[in-house]
Structure 1
């Protein structure tokens, strides 16, 4: 990301009005899986219950994504994955950032 890095505690995405996006930060070395973190962040941004959202696996392979983003050394590499989910543009970084921008 360029400019000011706006991040938050898990499950509390912080809005970046200049970019029209929300950013949350997770620790995937602890108990957070990237796939679960994405669903939680998108749910928080859209105001939707996770159980009311379509399954993430319809958009991306959650197991493959989890392996890619949590493998040894991933946090130190510029790995990111972008896709659309629940009418939002989602970008997930190996350093634990999940950036969600609602699509107009």
Structure 2
């Protein structure tokens, strides 16, 4: 099983996206770990447990009771060297941390 991850370049950074279906049998926490495996090329057993970053059971249930089309918000957290943002629509963005020593401009620098 693999995640359906797409890549978007923002400046010199890659932003990875996937669309989670809240009605799908695959839980979001599982889909995130599979996506990171696909992005990094690392085996899932080498990634830190997702439970070190977020409660996986709560994550899996977070937006499941929200009516379709209702914009209820988002959750962002850091996991395994990435910032992950999950929107209630199921849109998931994974942004790898900037390696130490790189010159990265932030929006506030412009």
TM-score tier, shorter chain, comes to 0.7 to 0.9
Tell me the CA shift for residue 12 of structure 1: 2.5
Calculate the aligned-residue CA RMSD, in Å: 1.9
Structure 1 segment 30-49 matched on structure 2, within 5 A: 30-49=24-43
Q: Deviations over 1:9-29 (max 9, x none)?
A: x71211111263010112120
Tell me the CA shift for residue 32 of structure 1: 2.0
Extract structure 1 runs of 4+ deviating beyond 4 A. none
1:17 match? 9
1:78 match? 72
Using structure 1 for the length normalisation, give the TM-score. Answer: 0.78
Of stretches 17-26 and 80-89 in structure 1, the one that deviates more from structure 2 is 17-26
More helix by share: 1
Q: Which runs of 5+ in 2 are unaligned?
A: 99-110
Paired positions, count: 95
1:3 match? none
Larger-Rg structure = 2
Q: Which runs of 5+ in 1 are unaligned?
A: 1-9
Using structure 2 for the length normalisation, give the TM-score. Answer: 0.75
